[in-house]
Structure 1
């Protein structure tokens, strides 16, 4: 795989809004175990809140999905796959991200925490925009 192709794949993973329109994969292999991911997510999502007994199962699933996402991303970063395999990995990573978003929105709603998280995300986007607009160092150095 060419370096520019790898960068393009990695940018696609990290692109804001990458999961818009993406679907959760029917099944996914996580740590050598086949998981009916879509069924699991929809089974959990159709409830208003996650029952106490299911919370640990959901948290473990989220940890496993994050770990699997990282491993797949590292395979692309470390040039362990062809460009075609990389494209397939990107699609699966975006599907994992979509599932994580769905599972992350579960549970009791804390409006204040959500507002803080939204404000932090807005600040992060604003700082990223400023860095891009002004250059990576945020402006010129050496001027008084």
Structure 2
């Protein structure tokens, strides 16, 4: 893949509104295990709050999804993959992000927790904006990502 193609894919997956209109993948393979992601997310979202017995399962799923997202992003950033494979990876990353957004909204059960989550999200957006405005977004490579 050419460098400008790689940068385009990375920009697409890191775009603030990348998940708008995106679907949660029906099935995803994480650590060589196939998971019915869409049905899991819809099953959990159907409830108004996550029952205490399910909370660990949801948190474990979110951790695994974040880990898988990072691994797929690094494949685009660091490895030599074809553009077609990069496109497939980018689409799967956006799907993972969509699933994470759906699951993240479930965690808050009280106004204080929700306020803290919103504050964290605002801080991340502000840091991305500052890095971009100051020309430090890197456009690729591990040094260009903000890690919190």
**TM-score of the pair, normalised by structure 1:** 0.83
Q: CA deviation at 1:111?
A: 2.5
The 10-residue stretch of structure 1 (12-21 or 73-82) with the greater mean CA deviation from structure 2: 73-82
Q: CA deviation at 1:69?
A: 0.5
Structure 2 CA distance for aligned equivalents of residues 70 and 85 of structure 1: 16
Q: CA deviation at 1:53?
A: 1.1
RMSD (CA atoms)? 2.1
Structure 1 CA distance for aligned equivalents of residues 7 and 33 of structure 2: 29
Task: State which structure, 1 or 2, has the greater radius of gyration over its C-alpha atoms.
Answer: 1
Secondary structure of 2:79 counterpart: coil
Secondary structure of 1:58 counterpart: helix
* Cα deviation 1:85-119 (Å, max 9, x = unaligned): 10110000000000000011113433244345445
Q: 2:64: which partner in 1?
A: 64
Structure 2 CA distance for aligned equivalents of residues 3 and 11 of structure 1: 12
Structure 1 CA distance for aligned equivalents of residues 131 and 54 of structure 2: 43
Q: 1:30: which partner in 2?
A: 30
